[in-house]
């Protein structure tokens, strides 16, 4: 038979362990919910460019239904005009020269059209400090880019006689 003091100690230990498990489960649920319900696209990308997981908003940006498999790698979704710059930035991330980078970039959608996004890329480190994966976030800025292009086009269309000086 166990002494009452030892029995109380074991009961207390298991009650605390159960409470820790509940707190951990609540924390995991908060992070899962944040990932799944974020207003921006969030994805984890393996160091070889494979998509590990992406939230519904990122799938929407890329034109993917929830059940669709992602056919292209992260690098394959980047518009050719920005590819060299992004590969350089990713190499600098992996070497530790950069902590993160942000850039306006066009990404290839499932329907073969491109969408403008504000792309943010950083690393996910393991417990030992090693780089495990990349975390990529994307926000659709297509409407902003279209408005900017329309304004620039309208400004170019003005003749010098139509421009007035208000000094």
Q: Rounded distance, CA 96 to CA 117, Å?
A: 25
Q: What average pLDDT values come out for the chain (167 residues) when binned by 10 residues?
A: 84 91 92 93 96 96 91 94 94 95 96 97 95 97 89 77 58
117 contacts 138 by C-beta, under 8 angstroms:
yes
Please report the pLDDT score of residue 138 as a whole number: 97
Please report the pLDDT score of residue 153 as a whole number: 83
Please report the pLDDT score of residue 163 as a whole number: 57
Please report the pLDDT score of residue 161 as a whole number: 59
Please report the pLDDT score of residue 69 as a whole number: 86
> pTM to 2 decimals?
0.80
Please report the pLDDT score of residue 74 as a whole number: 95
Please report the pLDDT score of residue 164 as a whole number: 59
Q: Rounded distance, CA 68 to CA 133, Å?
A: 22
């Amino acid at each position: 038979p166990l002494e009452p003091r030892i029995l109380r100690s074991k009961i207390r230990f298991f009650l605390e362990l159960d409470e820790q498990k509940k707190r951990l489960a609540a924390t995991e649920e908060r992070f899962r919910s944040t990932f799944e319900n974020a207003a921006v696209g969030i994805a984890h990308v393996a160091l070889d460019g494979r998509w590990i997981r992406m939230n519904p908003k990122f799938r929407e940006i890329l034109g993917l239904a929830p059940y669709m498999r992602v056919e292209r790698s992260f690098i394959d979704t980047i518009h050719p005009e920005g590819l060299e710059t992004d590969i350089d930035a990713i190499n600098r991330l992996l070497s530790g020269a950069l902590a993160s980078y942000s850039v306006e970039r066009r990404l290839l959608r499932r329907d073969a059209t491109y969408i403008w996004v504000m792309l943010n890329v950083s690393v996910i480190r393991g417990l030992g400090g090693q780089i495990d994966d990349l975390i990529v976030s994307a926000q659709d800025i297509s409407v902003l880019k279209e408005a900017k292009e329309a304004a620039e086009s309208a400004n170019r269309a003005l003749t010098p006689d139509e421009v007035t000086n208000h000094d």
